[in-house]
Amino acid sequence: MQINKAAAMRVIRLANIVGESGFDFSHLHFMALMPSGKDNELEAYFANNTITAKMRLPLTEGPAQEVCLPKKEVLRFLAACGETDIAIQVHGDTARLNQGKSRMVARTIPVSGFPFPLDEPVSFRIPITARNLQAALYLCCGLASSSHEASNLDVHLALDDGLQVYTTDGKNLAHAEIPLEDAEATELATAQVDIGLSVKTANTLLKLLDSLDEAERVILEITERSLVLHDMAYEWSCHCLLKAESPAVPWRRVAERQKIQEICSVTDIAALQDSMEVCMAVSDDKYVAVMLTVDEDALSLELENEKGSSTGSTTEIDVVHPHRSYVPFLPLKTLLSFCQKFQDAGPGQLRISKIELPQGSPLKWDWLVETGLKNLFIVTAAYLNK
């Protein structure tokens, strides 16, 4: 059988996103090619421990054969070859790949042991734009990955007056709302569901979304055990295993508190980023807290340690109430990175407010710009679990 190189490269690159480092003769490092049941078409499957994905791969010459190929090795071979079709010949437990004078012989594994996607009834079906899901996951995965507890954290997707995407480590909270179109909003108006993905699974899903056309419409489906993402034509699909125990977090209890006092609005995100870099000049430790000071005409970030001290300031702010408190560096860096990446409608404002809670006064950082999302914010040092 023969396959088109460009189509094969797209499939194999995505297959390598879903996988693990190293190598052994397990499904983690292989891609299964199967006849799809249609003429001149294969289905390519790839998986890790929580994700199973499928893509269509056109055949330029049949007949279709079953085979499991090593992902990284085939990617390196294809990347080094020319642009003509690739011929694949399967003989027992080996596969021969040919293109012109270039050849590769690879050991295979049995297709019969490969994990294929679960076929489950769909409880909820949600059409959204790939860009919006990418942005929401970027913010939440960034915050979760900045925590010492990253490997134990979940990213939640909840149907609750829109599609809410959020994560928390018990102290800091990130949230983005993906608005639903009128038909879906009406159909799902009474839906109440909250599911959790491990941060590792959510990060892999984010990498897959990075490879898509940002304007592409995609479908999210929620089943009993999986979150399924696929395109409108079902050319590809990605099945993500849900966390068995991932209790919902009452994020509204913090984010929508009545007792909230605005401190200031930052009108130049790049200047605030520069202030952060200056403030971190005396430290390599990204898990530190820095002193935030808002006075009548400037916002300053200061760090002091045994090496000395450094302070970065910006005057591009509108002050409502002066303020002074410590803020964790990494969650703020995550938010500013998000602001720079997704400010499609031009520079926006970052509104900083203080929330009055019995456990203290965490800060809420709202990103005010048109991105296709709503209610974009992080809360720093909010003790949600108490």
226-245 pLDDT per residue, tens: 999 999 988 999 999 999 88
Residue 137 to residues 133, 184, 218: CA-CA distances in angstroms? 6, 21, 15
Residue ranges and CATH numbers for the domains of the chain are 2-113 (3.10.150.10), 124-161+178-248 (3.10.150.10), 253-380 (3.10.150.10)
Q: What confidence score (pLDDT) does residue 364 get?
A: 93
For residues 313-320, average pLDDT: 94
Res 17 pLDDT > 50 = yes
Distance set, CA 120 to CA 35, 60, 349 (Å): 22, 32, 43
Q: What is the pTM of this model?
A: 0.90
The answer to whether residue 3 scores a pLDDT higher than 50 is yes
Higher pLDDT, 19 or 296: 296
The token pair at 331 is 């969650």
Report residue 55 as tokens: 């893509």
pLDDT recorded at residue 83: 84
Instruction: Give the per-residue pLDDT at 386.
Output: 33
- Per residue in 337-365, pLDDT tens? 888 888 665 667 899 999 988 778 899 99
What pLDDT, on a 0 to 100 scale, did the predictor assign at position 150?
Answer: 84
> pLDDT at residue 35 above 80?
yes
Q: Range with the lowest mean pLDDT among 189-198, 235-244, 298-307?
A: 189-198
pLDDT tens sequence across 119-129? 899 999 999 98
In the chain, the percentage of residues whose pLDDT exceeds 90 is 57
Tell me how crowded residue 68 is: count the other CB atoms within 10 A of its CB: 27
Query: In the structure, how many helices (H) and strands (E) does the chain have?
Result: 8, 25
In this predicted structure, what is the pLDDT of residue 346? Answer: 60
Which helix (H) or strand (E) segment holds residue 354: the answer is strand 349-355
Half-sphere exposure in the Cβ direction for 382 (13 Å, CA): 29
In the predicted structure, residue 46 carries a pLDDT above the cut 50: yes
Question: In the predicted model, what is the mean pLDDT of residues 191-217?
Answer: 89
360: which DSSP letter?
B
Asked if 74 contacts 97 with a C-beta cutoff of 8 angstroms, the reply is: yes
Tell me what the pLDDT averaged over the chain comes to.
89
- Separation between Cα atoms, residue 145 and residue 140, nearest integer Å: 8
Please write the tens of the pLDDT for every residue from 91-109.
999 999 999 889 999 999 9
Predicted pLDDT at 183: 65
- What are the b/e assignments for 295-327, b being 16+ CB within 10 Å? eeeebbbbbeeeeeebbbbbebbebeeebebeb
Residue 215: predicted pLDDT: 74
Share of the chain above pLDDT 70, in %: 96
Q: What is the mean pLDDT of residues 242-261?
A: 84
What is the reported pLDDT for 272? 92
The confidence band for 385, taking pLDDT boundaries of 50, 70 and 90, is very low
Residue 383's pLDDT band, with cuts at 50, 70 and 90, is very low
Beta strands at 86-91 and 67-70: parallel, antiparallel or unpaired: unpaired
